[in-house]
Structure 1
């Protein structure tokens, strides 16, 4: 299910929704809610909002073609969790080229050891398509911890 939810769907249509604010609570299962290393929210030219909430930001960074090992939690903007590697009981290793455009663009901003929050607009997620519990045209909120690059954790 996890790979199904994160695999790029063939049809991703833009829906015209604007960048929304992340859920009110940024506490996550990736560690403490303490955010002393938190950076300010930034926005990429494509519309992904992101910030580092933990980590030094100085380690190796993956490319868009790498395989990465991560822990993550995915939520809808109302806070409904739709997927989590913690619920599955272990981190996952995935090839970035096979994932939604928002992950292909966002994860390479991270360094190994960092935890980031991402708000991904629908056109960089699943667009006008439903994906399991994710409604069409959904803005997605992910908290991602980058554990390793190249399948190494």
Structure 2
């Protein structure tokens, strides 16, 4: 006959069950936090002033005033006025073509959500910015989140942009051929009138 030795089970100390549950809750919270951190984040666009009209599409050119900042507020880039000698061909601001393969994917993703006349704050997480490899010599550290203040001045079709650029080149060539005579702020006589911005 087999003999069984009995071992008494000790009662759970007061408060141990509470500590066990707290430990389980903390383990779940840490796991959820790690899972959230591993999920790629998207851009965040805050509308400061509503724009009007359609949003830019692939192949169009957006004219902007912008300021790019790091998380600590350091400005790493901003738009500068481009002196274009013919009034009416191009709006003020810096032109950005909307096209795939851009250096900062999040920037162009954000532009596609904006409208003419609007002002925006655009937050771009590092994985949608330059990631671990910012441009050589840039004041942007690796894995930096970026923030842009953006004002959309205008949106122009690529066809209109190309046509106006051709007019500009012809005008500049004409001025060079004439020894620089004429008013650089006006289109020469006979030049086609600029198309309305689309």
TM-score, with structure 2 as normaliser: 0.50
Larger Rg over CA atoms: 2
- What number of residue pairs does the alignment pair up? 109
| Unaligned ranges ≥5, structure 1 | 1-16, 19-44
Structure with the larger helix share: 2
Higher strand share: 1
Q: Distance in 2 between matches of 1:81 and 1:144?
A: 13
Q: What is the rounded CA distance, in whole Å, between the counterparts of 2:134 and 2:105 in structure 1?
A: 16
Please point out which of 95, 117, 134 is paired with 2:140.
134
The answer to which structure, 1 or 2, has the higher relative contact order (CA under 8 A, 6+ apart) is 1
CA distance in 2, matches of 1:147, 1:67: 11
Deviation of the 1:99 alpha carbon: 4.3
Q: 1:69 aligns with which of 46, 49, 63?
A: 63
How far the C-alpha of 1:66 sits from its partner, in A, is 2.0
Over the aligned positions, Cα root-mean-square deviation in angstroms equals 2.5
| CA distance, structure 2, for counterparts of residue 46 and residue 65 of structure 1 | 26
Counterpart CA distance in 1 for 2:98 and 2:75 is: 22
Q: Deviations over 1:132-153 (max 9, x none)?
A: 1111100000011111112559
